[in-house]
Structure 1
Amino acid sequence: MANMKGIYKRGLAVLFLACLLLGTMMVQAVIQAQSYGRLINYVGIVRGATQRLVKLELQRQESSEIIQYIDSIIEELTGAKGPYDLPAPQDEQYQEDLLEMERMWGQVQEHIYAYRMGEEEEAEMLALSEAFFEQANDTVFSAEEYSVRKNRTLLGVCVALLGVVAVIWLLIFWSASRKILFLENTNKELNELARKDPMTGAYQIEAFKEEAQKLLDTGADKKYAVLYTDFTDFKYMNDVFGYTYGDSILRQYGEILGESLREGEIYGRVSADHFVILMYYKEKGEAASRQRKADQRIIKFMHNSYDKQSVPTCCGICCAEDVVETLLIDNLIDNANFARKTVKNGTNPNYVYYNESIRIRLREEKNVESRMLSALENHEFTVYYQPKVELKTGRIACAEALVRWKTSDGAVISPDYFIPVFERKFLIGQLDQYVFEEVCRWLKSLLDQGREVLPVSVNVSRLQFYDLDFVSRYVEIRDKYQIPPRLLEIEFTESMVFDKEELLIQIVKQLKKEGFSCSIDDFGKGYSSLSLLKSIPIDVLKIDRLFFVESEDKGKDAAVIEGIIDLVKRFHIQTVAEGIETWEQVEYLKHIGCDFVQGYVYYRPMPEEEFEQLLEQQ
């Protein structure tokens, strides 16, 4: 790698020198062409002026000024310094023709003076004039031929040098391409390692969901099942034998699960001793049978380790064919987990398939959670606004709409509590639309009152993007309240990109066509890829607060942030830094060209009444 780097640097140096030489030679060629053109021009002047002179003399109009003019040109052509800056080509034919022309010019002058004295006949003058004209022509042609030869030689050298430059450039391009390919492959490997649990080798849960969903989407010819497994009392092993031994069990279990998988199957670690597996089967019983063999191996490992102590595993299995809902990995995991819990509470053997009875229990759970639906109907959810401050002006330029659950008894429930439930129960789309309509209603009230109105961004969940009517529904709500499109921005999280990038691009283009602004939220929280910015026509990139948390290497963090901002500016994308809490961060972001800041350093999320007052004060 170091050798390639040296070659690359030397190649750049040679390319620079070659380009410099090529440029110098091209300039020289232009200057030389100009000088030779001037030479040919002045030899032609001598030829024409002599004809003019003889004609005037024959008309008895003496023209000593023309004689002096021709003399000055011929003197400079033959090597004397003069005002015309004429070159003196060292070409044998040209010098021979030039000397003959100089000699004949002397004869012409003698005949002119003789003609003036009446000692010369007109016919002799004309004959000599014609002979001089022919010689001057020969001199012009000699100069032209010499000029062509020199320019052709110089052109050949330039072409050869240009070929050298092209070869060097191709070599550098080839070297750089190999380096880029190497870096891309290394980056992929590092990303893959970052997505896996270092202890067990299993995918971390979010990465597992991403990969599993891809397999579900593309594996229509396979029968898939999700298994959710853990140990019945792993805490006992940690408490009795220590966490080091507990970790060794998890490490061994991860290795066993990995070895038991076939191509097209994956496994992940949810947390602690909880694992999920996506496998395919021909007969349903195959899933439990295969998992039982893997679990027997880990039990044997524990049995042979300490005092023959071991704890059994419990596993819930959800077959995709038993699910009536859309095949979303979250749904399958929840179902498998619910089946596993029936093992935990002692109502089933160690391997339980999600079935009709479990589905009924889930339906009962859904009824318990129906409070969420009634809360939507009773407008118990309220919208808070968190301002975004433009760093150039220090003024509020826009805001983000955030939802809070304010129950009938006045308690405010944090979104961290209810948002995951809405997502798990696939009600998040209804909540998104509820918030969007509340924002439109509020903007309409401000517009009707003639008050200041700033753009507002609203979040949408990944489930919205799977809804084919999503865009038309939002347009319908917007137009219902007659809100100008410039006042609404749609935010979606970075993680959506990795679900279905092509679908996301299609949706974003539809939103842009309808006049909405679009932004990526939480950039950097997941598995960021700057290459996606060239594919998705967004207007705003929100950099996740993760980048602004204190770390051991501030220099690297700063380099990443500055690199992101510098790149997206080239794509004409505005940047918003989220979660900013100190003025030191504000000054730094202002210095590196970030556009907006959102965070507690300026404002916390606030109810619409408080936000209205803030806007009036501004």
Structure 2
Amino acid sequence: MNTKNLIHKKLEHELELYKMMVNASLDSITLIDRGYKYLIVTDAYTRARQLKKEEILNHTVADVWGEKIFEEIIKSKLDECFSGKTVSHIAAYEFKKNEISYIETVYTPCFTSGSKASYAVVISHNITELKKSQEKIEALAYYDSLTNLPSRPLFLDRLYHEITKANRKGKSVAVFFFDLDEFKKTNDTFGHSAGDKLLTNVGDRLKKYLRETDTIARPGGTINLDEKNNSDYLARIGGDEFTFIIPDVSDKRATTRIAERILNIFKEPFEILDREIFISTSIGIAFYPDDGDDVETLLKNADTAMYKAKSKGKNNFQYYSPDMNQRAKERVKVETKLRYAIKNSDLQLYYQPQYNIDNAKMTGMEALIRWEDKELGMVSPKDFIPLAEETGMIIEIGDWVINSACHQGKVWHDQGFNDLNLGVNLSVRQFFDPNLVDKIKSAIETSQFDPNFLELEITETAMMHDTEGAMKIINEIKSMGIKISLDDFGTGYSSLVHLKLFPVDMLKIDQVFIRNADLNGRDGAIISSMIDMCHKLNIKAVAEGVETIESLSFLKDNRCHFAQGFFFSPPIPVEKFEDLLYCSN
């Protein structure tokens, strides 16, 4: 064999080795000429595309991928490569239905002669597993593990980008800030697992109702990684707080319709652990740039507007206005002072007497909390009790009230007024405190107050929140000899089922029916019906808010058992109440 043949054979052998080496690569490798025609393809490429070699070789890229994808994505990359540049590109492909593959592709120019690239070597590497790992890390960092919604960091990042875009385009951005009304009561009543399930269901319902856009291309096509689903603008940023961005707002009136839609989707109950739970939401809305030109200010002002919605009775939406900031600051101030008042024992108990209507004899008193601050003066319970409920301070306040009232009741009993009943209010959150019964037992044991003279006043709201749980708690309380009073009857759900189910000893007719009542009209008919119902159910009727002799006479004529109100005495501090006791005696 001559030298020329030996060299030729050696080259053929080396070429075979190169082919084996290239084909052994897990990466897809192709050689494309300037006419966009495939000249060489590896086995990995044919496997990835699920095509035979003869379906690819000597065919153009447009033939293999389709004209649309070639023109929109691949052609520009090849042209840049043929100009002499190495080009890198990442895209998502759906080679199989509902199976996304992420491919990193590098286009490298090949020069045979002259300054023009004759070919492009295209190497594609499947980075799907790497992408999935990155997505898992990103999910942990940027998505809420409970609802799978974006979390606060991702929301703030998206809001920043939308503000930046709006600034360039001269557009507006709306930020919705909303949280669930009385969510803490749901947690306290049904437990944290039910609360978590509720949050998940709320997130799912919100995603369903918010406008969505399709982001997945047809099988065999690509996915634009920059496309977003509009529900991605929804986020859970903490606790029961949700936010939503509306970009490119041209007409602010459109946000009203969206807010109303969000409120409406809460009208249907949520099925949680075989229970129907009703819950509403309060929404605050702020706009860029009118209500803030940066992320922090915009979110803070939307939050402020949300608290305004809560102060207006919850289950509504409010637009931010500058004067809200002052009220928000005042709220923070009151909250801070209330915490110090609890810590420093600055709260007081006032007592309002109750009288037997038939013989005008004092039969007991209701303990009512009062707070006088050096700077704020006398703060109305209407201003600080809802705040204490929201922040959870009501549990600590309620514990102090029961203990203080029982100790004071024991003092008066020891002074000879040992036939007086003592009424103490329980808030909804306090009523469902898992340690309530033990705390009541402790207060009675520590104070040595006779439990047969203790009346715990519970609202209808507490009873309807969890009927089964409420029944168990009430039975435990009554087993100690304590009486149960249904407070504010007629203002809440007013379900006669409560009177049928629960062993209530007393029913308190709310002052809204008594004060300024038309006793000869509808008001009088309602009051007399309530009293008559109490007699038939063997429940004692207590009228609140009695301020005139006419009201008292009407109540006496209709056989109401007990009454309290300014006609007899307003709530007064311990010293004055003792004077009243001795005068009555």
TM-score (norm 2): 0.49
Higher helix share: 1
TM-score (norm 1): 0.46
Higher strand share: 2
